[in-house]
Amino acid sequence: MPAGPSARAGAACARLGLGVDLDRPFTALSGGEAARASLAAVLLVRADLLLLDEPTNDLDGHGLRTLEDFVAGYAGSVVVVSHDRAFLDRTVTRIAEVEPRSHAIVEWAGGWSDYARQRDEARDRAYAQLAEAEARRRELTALLSRRRTEARGQGGGLGERTGGADRRGTNALRTKVRQTARLLERNPLPEKPYEPWELRLALRSTGRLPTPVASLTRVVVERGTFRLGPVDLELMPGERLALTGANGAGKTTLLQALLGERELAAGTRHLGRGVVTGVIGQTRSGYDRAEPLLEVFVARAGLLPEDARTLLAKFGLGASHVGRACASLSPGERTRAHLAELQARGVNLLVLDEPTNHLDVEAIEQLELALAEWDGALVVVSHDRRFLEAVQPTRELALAAR
């Protein structure tokens, strides 16, 4: 006899480590647990077409593998919007790109790596064709200039030379001028290949870091029925610490304990003297407010309004954004505001909790480049496999699932 809806829902939740308490309020779940609950709902879908919008956000390794296996074995069609490059490489067979300038759809065969290679090759070909066309136009322009000069010189003596040979020579030169001009008209320059807006992030650390930068000693944190600890942690200058573990293991809670954002049930925390902390949290709560973006950014970044406008514009937040309420911005726009703030403030300890969520790939790659040059301390939580590879953590702290 087929299982009922509750039994199937319980099985899907259990498969993802969520237990079978289906009466538990959704608002009581952590970000990762909420992501797994949403994935459990996807696993129950019986449809011919499945639409997934950023399905990997907040999923841990087990959830990612479960989703990848599900999509790979799905009998119907799947359309997915995702900036998770590893996920796209493992699951899709075709990529449709919305060309930003024309809004046309350009299709590419294969996964993300295939797309990136073909896109770069196509751009290289387009630039080569543009260079060839520019060289051809320079040749024709120079030829046209010479022939016009010759025609003017020949025509300048017509008042004294009226013979038929002179007229024929002049007409021949004029014909060559017209022919060259027509050739120039028939060889217009092709459109320059589209280069998308590119975030150029430059992170600078301020001041020499103390040793240790920050520490937790026998720290215990309690949140409802959840208990984390005791935890001992020392973060050293220049260290890149990755916090890993299953959804619900307490990674965000540990970050909050380190930052002093959560009360400790036991133990002590210490932040070194001169440490300036920059944070990108999972919820991007710093810009989830009713006040205008410019007002909030000026207060947080410590800049004059005009300087703030200039910097925000470099992060793709222009005149149409700065007067809007922060809460009306998309998660990606709020993330870019956080990145602009980090650049403005100058920090020496970065704490990043799923920083790639809601960012487009170009912004993610720029963040990776900026972090490659970063010489301060870093603590990061991320389930983006390509991002973690680029960050190259010097140490990993794995939290066991509760």
pLDDT at residue 1 in the model: 39
166 against 101, higher pLDDT? 101
pLDDT at residue 172 in the model: 77
Residue 257 and residue 324 in one domain: yes
Q: Is 39 within 8 Å of 15 (Cβ atoms)?
A: no
pLDDT, tens only, 63-95: 888 888 888 888 889 999 998 999 999 999 999
The answer to the question of residue 192 being in a domain is: no
Give the domain CATH number at 260: 3.40.50.300
Mean pLDDT of the chain: 83
Q: In whole angstroms, what separates CA 282 from the centre of its chain? A: 15
- Indicate the pTM of the whole model: 0.70
pLDDT at residue 158 in the model: 43
Q: Which of 83, 100, 117 is at the close of a domain?
A: 100
Residue 173 and residue 221 in one domain: no
Give the pair of three-digit tokens for residue 63: 């959830």
The answer to the question of residue 302 being in a domain is: yes
pLDDT, tens only, 246-274: 877 888 889 999 988 888 999 999 998 88
pLDDT of residue 15 exceeding 80, the answer is no
Provide the sign of the torsion angle of the four alpha carbons 337, 338, 343, 346, taken in this order: positive
| Residue environment code for 16-42, b if the CB has 16+ CB neighbours within 10 A, otherwise e | bbbeeeeeeeeeebbbbbbbbbbbbeb
Q: Which of 150, 168, 186 is at the close of a domain?
A: 186
Residue 48 and residue 133 in one domain: no
Residue 244 and residue 335 in one domain: yes
225 against 205, higher pLDDT? 225
The answer to the question of residue 107 being in a domain is: no
pLDDT, tens only, 134-181: 888 888 888 888 888 877 776 554 444 455 556 666 677 778 778 888
The answer to the question of residue 105 being in a domain is: no
The answer to the question of residue 291 being in a domain is: yes
- Residue-range definition of the domain harbouring residue 61: 5-100
SS3 per-residue string spanning the chain? CCCCHHHHHHHHHHHCCCCCCCCCCHHHCCHHHHHHHHHHHHHCCCCCEEEEECCCCCCCHHHHHHHHHHHHCCCCEEEEECCCHHHHHHHCCEEEEECCCCCCEEEEECCHHHHHHHHHHHHHHHHHHHHHHHHHHHHHHHHHHHHHHHHHHHHCCCCCCCCHHHHHHHHHHHHHHHHHHHHHHHCCCCCCCCCCCCCCCCCCCCCCCCCCCEEEEEEEEEECCEEEEEEEEEECCCCEEEEEECCCCCHHHHHHHHHCCCCCCEEEEEECCCCCEEEECCCCHHHCCCCEHHHHHHHHHCCCHHHHHHHHHHCCCCHHHHCCEHHHCCHHHHHHHHHHHHHHHCCCEEEEECCCCCCCHHHHHHHHHHHHCCCCEEEEECCCHHHHHHHCCCEEEEECCC
How many other C-beta atoms can be found within 10 angstroms of the C-beta atom of residue 285?
A: 10
pLDDT at residue 34 in the model: 76
pLDDT of residue 184 exceeding 50, the answer is yes
pLDDT of residue 222 exceeding 70, the answer is yes
Residue 225 and residue 158 in one domain: no
How many other C-beta atoms can be found within 10 angstroms of the C-beta atom of residue 248?
A: 21
pLDDT of residue 393 exceeding 90, the answer is yes
Residue 73 and residue 142 in one domain: no
Give the pair of three-digit tokens for residue 33: 């647990």
Q: Helix 331-345 to helix 361-372 angle, to the nearest 10 degrees?
A: 20
Residue 135 and residue 82 in one domain: no
The answer to the question of residue 144 being in a domain is: yes
Asked which of 159-163, 231-235, 353-357, 359-363 is least confident by mean pLDDT, the reply is 159-163
Residue 81 and residue 161 in one domain: no
pLDDT, tens only, 273-327: 888 888 888 777 778 888 999 999 999 888 899 999 999 988 888 888 989 999 8
Q: How far apart are CA 382 and CA 243, in angstroms?
A: 8
The answer to the question of residue 54 being in a domain is: yes
pLDDT at residue 232 in the model: 92
Binning pLDDT at 50, 70 and 90, where does residue 218 land?
Answer: very high
pLDDT at residue 74 in the model: 86
The answer to the question of residue 151 being in a domain is: yes
Residue 312 and residue 387 in one domain: yes
Residue 95 and residue 131 in one domain: no
Q: How far apart are CA 66 and CA 15, in angstroms?
A: 9
pLDDT at residue 87 in the model: 92
pLDDT, tens only, 21-32: 566 676 666 666
pLDDT at residue 248 in the model: 78
- The stretch 107-122 carries a mean pLDDT of 91
The residue among 300, 343, 312 whose CA lies nearest residue 204 is 343
Residue 295 and residue 231 in one domain: yes
- The count of domains in the chain is 3
Residue 70 and residue 132 in one domain: no
